[in-house]
Structures are given as C-alpha cells and as structure tokens.
Amino acid sequence: MARQLDEQMSGRFAVGRRLRVLDVGMGRGVQALRLARAGHRVTGVERDAETVAAARDALAREPEGIRERMRVLEGDGRDTGVHFLPGSFDVVLCHGMLLYVEEPDPLLAGLARMLAPGGLLSLLVGNGDALAMRPGLRGEWSAALAAFDGGETGPAALPPSRTPADGETAPARPRGGVRADRLATLTAKLAGIGAPLRAWYGVRVFTDAAGAPAGPGVAPDGDLAALLAAEERAGRTDPYRAVAALLHLCGVRG
C-alpha cells in the first residue's frame, strides 16, 4: 500500500511539495505517521476512542517537528463537511473504512468534496468480484459456492482478525460479513462524484489464503522481501490483480 500510494503521489505532485493529507479511518495512524515523517501536513480521523488514544500516544513519541505537522481527531469520517471546507486537502485516504459502512455513497461524495482540484483520492476496499477466491483456495467449498451469489457483501473478503491497512485488531464486523465493492461499480461512482479512477491495484493477491495455520501473509520460506516483491508485481499485473482480496483505487479530482 505504501509503495502504491507513493507512486501515485509522486506522479501527481512536484517533488518536495508539502501536501495537505486527510486520512479517514486512520486506525492507529500507520500511513498518517509515515506521511507526516515525509514532511506532509496530515489530519487523521478515527471514530474508535481507544484507537484514537493509541494513535495520539504514538504521535507523542515522535520528534516535535512531526508532532506539529499532524493532528488526530475523533470522528465518524462521514461528517467531514462539518469540520473542513471543500477543497481543503491535496490527498484524501480512506483505507478500509468502506468495508464497514453499509451505505458508502454519502461517504464517498464527502471525501471527494474535501479534495482540491487535481487532488488524489486513495481507497482500499474489499474486492466484490473475487469473494469466492479465499474460501475456494482453502477448500471451503460450501462457502465458495455461497460467495458466488453473495453480491457485494460477504465474509470471504478478509480474515476475521486483521485490518487491511496496518495489521491491527479490526472492529467488529457488520452482520453477514464485511462489505465488498465491484470494480465496475466503484469506477462509475468515482466518475459520478468528480474523482474519476486513474489507477488501481490488487492488494493481497497471494497472501490472503497463504500461510495457514501460521496466518495470512506469512512467507513459508521466511523470505519477506520475496513475498513483498511477488505481491507488488501481482498487484499491478493482469489477470492476478483482479482476484486480489482487496483493491486499492486511486481517483483524481477534476
């Protein structure tokens, strides 16, 4: 995710430019802190009070210059219009939050309004076109068959105890599993809110069902560098990226 995001940011903004970044559903602030360390001004929004406290604790341990560039707010993420003026940010991140929002359209529209012209919107979503992949690769045939008819919601999109963005404990799932989105549907929605899709990647192509019983993402041979290289290559290569557990979509405000 970090490599993909950096690729899109460097392709859109001048080298050395200090960007205004909004991270909605920031979790413990892994991406937000990384971008603040890189010199950007970052606002993180997270609704869970315990997670907000952990993010603020992590920020407090950073050097003064980084602390001055980042702020952490407790909020739902769907009320951005209350806190910020339209066009306030150059980059808006929403990594994983759409998995837990039953009606994503108002949130997407609000995120797009926060972008300045030419701004980058980065989304991480469940892949609704590949819900049967994980149970199928694990030999869970009944679950795989059910996932084919599961629409854009299903428990196959994520393992039960990990978040997509930073490997922390996930919030409770909605009844019936997390949401997932189809690429064609989100492409149309992004065009409709004025932030058309410019690039997309697969995330967790190979690792989502790998490593059992040690857990997803564990390299059997212990070669983490090779695992990351294989995932990065697959995440930008057809047909592999289309069957990833998650999709990273990047839209640009017109």
More confident: 153 or 175:
153
* Rounded-to-integer distance, Cα 155 and Cα 138, Å: 14
Reply yes or no on whether the pLDDT at 166 is more than 50.
Answer: no
One-character DSSP codes across 56-85:
HHHHHTS-HHHHHHEEEEE--STTHHHHS-
Range with the poorest average pLDDT among 6-10, 34-38, 175-179:
175-179
**Proportion of the chain above pLDDT 90, given as a percent:** 70
Reply yes or no on whether the pLDDT at 139 is more than 50.
Answer: yes
Domains of the chain and any CATH numbers: 2-252 (3.40.50.150)
pTM of the model: 0.87
Across 130-153, b (16+ Cβ under 10 Å) vs e yields: bbbbbbbeeebeebbebbeebebb
For the chain, the average pLDDT equals 86
Q: What's the confidence (pLDDT) of residue 149?
A: 78
Across 217-248, b (16+ Cβ under 10 Å) vs e yields: bebeeeeeeebeebbbebbbeeebbbbbbbbb
More confident: 81 or 18:
18
Q: What confidence tens digit (pLDDT) does each residue in 52-66 have? A: 999 999 999 999 999
Give the mean model confidence (pLDDT) for residues 228-238. 95
* Rounded-to-integer distance, Cα 27 and Cα 164, Å: 10
Q: What's the confidence (pLDDT) of residue 29?
A: 94
Q: What confidence tens digit (pLDDT) does each residue in 75-131 have? A: 887 777 678 999 999 999 999 999 998 889 999 999 999 999 999 999 999 999 999
| pLDDT confidence tier of residue 171, bands split at 50, 70 and 90 | very low
